[in-house]
Chain A
Amino acid sequence: MANKIKEMFKVFKMALWMNVTLLRRYNSNFIFWVIYAAANAILMLLFIPLYSASISSIGTKSIISFILIGAAMLPLLQETVSSVSGEASFQMWSGIINYSFTTPVSRYIYFSLNSMSEVIISLVIYSPIYLIAIIFAFNYLTPLGLLLSVICFIIGFLGMLQLGFMLGAAMLLFRRVEALDSIINLVITFLSGAFIPLQVLPSSVNYAALFVPLTSSLYLVRYYLVGSSLIAPPYLMWAITIGELIVFALIARFIFKAAEKKAEKIGFNYI
């Protein structure tokens, strides 16, 4: 166990080292990402009038914070899902997955931590938006509320990662699953509540949307930060958020195992 943790730490540290090294060498891309993140936030703020119209059902104390949280989380999720599946296809195409198969480091740990380190950089890019959201919510904020919102944000982020791993593992198993990536993106865009506030939609849609990862954590983040309304009591929302994280992690692990099994029969080059 201690060894596994040491191994995870080492793999993550090296992956982060690589990503930071490359980021520093090719920093223009980083700047473009920052611009993209800012554009996301600004464009979503254009919808303030729309949100204001239904402020009673959203029940938020700051429309700006409410919007910015969505603006920080939605693209972060989209990038997580596609960069993890991108990592999977790169490892497969380059043969790195074969090399890692012959080393004592667990392939799943390698694959997931490597993807995670990539996504951490996106997290860095989007966190200023989250910070601005906190600033706008400052007047209503309690320390406990801030803490809980941060925790929900992290759990939500981990859930997104699992979704990414699921897609990445599916890519190893089925080779081409780009369409799945698009389906996930579509569903997330409309049903996470990041872009369109779910509070204004019928409650049946809301219940369905709870099956979309990120929805419940996003609800909670906004609830603790700006007091916007929830669809279910907080404890249920927590249970759903954490439950989804676990279920997605298990599914991802399961698909990855199946891919490994298949690879051992005919080789990763051929699956």
Chain B
Amino acid sequence: MENVAVRIRNLSKTYTNGGKTTKALKNINLDIKEGEILGVLGPNGAGKTTLINILATLLIPDKGTINAFGIDVLKEANKFREIIGYAGQDSEKSAYYRLTAFETLIYFAYTFRDVKKGDIEREIKYISKKIGFSRKLNSEFSTLSGGEKQALIIMRVLVHKPRLCFLDEPSKSLDPVTAKKFRAFLKDFVRKEKITTIVTTHNMSEAEEICDRIVLINKGKIKFIGTPLEFKNIMNYTDKITLDTRLNKLLIAKLKKIPSIVKIKKTTKSTVIYTNKVNLSLLALTSILKNEKLEPKMTVKSATVEDAFVKVMGNGK
């Protein structure tokens, strides 16, 4: 797990289009570990797709180096292409409309990859069963729904088992149930096949669920690299307790003395208590409220990756 699969150094990319320049990536340094699932997160226009497209040899950076499994990616792109799989952000149309799903997978695998007939057919059947695609295999590509097209495009990447795969928002048009199935399968499959996977997403819980590590990009710069847990720990609280009433100053002062409470915020109609030990805080809080004969409605919510995201991005501005 600990070997570095891809080493990215000083990577920068500027787009010049119609006289306007956009700095999409600014001096990115990143090591991707062999076998890991790395999530790339960040707001719209952060540079995620640019990064993926450079890694997938679609774009040439202004400067920087990329070394993957001993291959100098920018100089030996064609050698590198033999071991990668790619599903771009706008690739849901990238197939021949009148071929069936099955034919599409066969066609692309044979044409572009060194695969054996029997292997690939077995793999197609296996994967479609796992993600619930089997009954669509004989449907024409044009008749597939948006999410089904997307699923097919992802399958196209996985059937030939690349060593390194790049998925740009793979679950974007999948419904929640399919997305869940897909995530479970993806995690399982790339582990089993030892496929190093780089995936971009806007879905924080998805990142939390499947990624070994996440990279946060904002305005072309890396803001954070680490495990989802480390990411969550950026927050100094683990849970938020919300009371549907505004507590008075005296009570707030009392609560602030409880060591497990880190912060209290009042809004127009409620009081939010941030804690790093939810059980202790709740005990103390209920006894204080009882003394005051108060019975506000209480909701407890754990800190999410989203919260950390907002925090990191907030600092970035």
A residues neighboring B (CB under 8 Å): 10-11, 14-15, 17-18, 21-22, 25-26, 93-96, 98-105, 110, 263-270
Tell which of B79, B88, B107 touches A18, judged by Cβ atoms closer than 8 Å.
Answer: B107
A96 contacts across to B, CB distance below 8 A: 94-96
- The CA of A99 and the CA of B16, in the complex, are separated in Å by 23
* B87 shortest CB reach to chain A, Å: 8
Chain B, 37-48, contact with A by CB distance < 8 Å: what is the 0/1 string? Answer: 000000000000
Are A98 and B99 interface neighbours, CB within 8 A?
A: no
Q: Are B103 and A21 in contact (CB under 8 A)?
A: yes
Q: Is the CB of B57 within 8 A of A18?
A: no
- In the assembled complex, the CB of A49 is this many whole angstroms from the nearest CB of chain B, namely 44
Minimum Cβ distance to chain B for residue A156 (Å): 28
**Residues of chain B from 41 to 95 with CB closer than 8 A to chain A in the complex:** 53, 56-60, 78-79, 81-82, 84-86, 88, 90-91, 93-95
Stretch of B109-117, B121-129, B242-250 that contacts chain A: B109-117
B112 near A26: Cβ-Cβ < 8 Å? no
Establish whether residues A100 and B112, one from each chain, have CB atoms under 8 Å apart when the complex forms.
yes
Set of chain A residues within 8 Å of B112, measured between Cβ atoms: 100, 103-105
Question: B88 to A265, Cβ gap below 8 A?
Answer: no
Taken together as a complex, chains A and B put the C-alpha atoms of A194 and B107 apart, in Å, by 38
Binding site secondary structure of chain A: helix
Q: Given A10-B110, A18-B103, A104-B112, 6 more contacts at CB 8 Å?
A: A22-B99, A26-B98, A100-B112, A103-B112, A266-B59, A267-B53
* Chain B: minimal CB distance from A116 (Å): 14
In contact, B91 and A21 (Cβ under 8 angstroms): no
Contacts A10-B111, A110-B111; A265 near B91 (Cβ below 8 A): no
Given A267-B53, A269-B90, also A105-B111 (CB < 8 A): yes
Smallest CB–CB gap between B73 and chain A, Å? 12
> Which residue in B58, B60, B108, B113 is a CB contact (below 8 Å) of A268?
B58
Query: In the docked arrangement, what's the CA distance between A22 and B93, Å?
Result: 18
Interface of chain B, helix or strand or loop or mixed?
mixed
B17 near A98 with CB under 8 A, answer no
Among B59, B82, B99, B108, contact of A264 (Cβ-Cβ < 8 Å): B59
Residues in chain B near residue A93, CB distance under 8 A: 93
For the complex of A and B, 4 pairs with smallest distance between CB atoms? A95-B94, A103-B112, A102-B86, A14-B111
Q: Is the beta-carbon distance between B58 and A95 smaller than 8 angstroms?
A: no
* Contact present for A102 and B81 (CB under 8 Å): yes
The answer to whether residues A14 and B86 also contact, given A94-B95, A104-B78, A268-B58 and a CB cut-off of 8 A, is: no
* With contact pairs A25-B98, A100-B112, A110-B111 given, residues A270 and B17 touching in the complex (Cβ less than 8 Å): yes
Most buried by A among B78, B86, B96, B108: B96
Q: B60, B81, B98, B111: which contacts A22 (Cβ < 8 A)?
A: B98
Q: Does the CB pair B94–A98 fall under 8 Å?
A: yes
**How far is it, in angstroms, between the C-alpha of A14 and the C-alpha of B95 when the chains are bound?**
14
Contacts A18-B107, A110-B111, A269-B90; A101 near B95 (Cβ below 8 A): no
Does A102 lie within 8 Å of B58, measured CB to CB?
A: yes
Chain A residue numbers with a CB within 8 Å of B91 are: 95, 98-99
Cβ of B90: which chain A residues have Cβ within 8 Å of it? Answer: 95, 269
Q: Which residues of B contact A102 (CB under 8 A)?
A: 56-58, 81, 84-86
Q: How far is the CA of A26 from the CA of B96 in the complex (A)?
A: 14
Task: Considering the complex, give the chain A residue whose CB is closest to the CB of B84.
Answer: A102
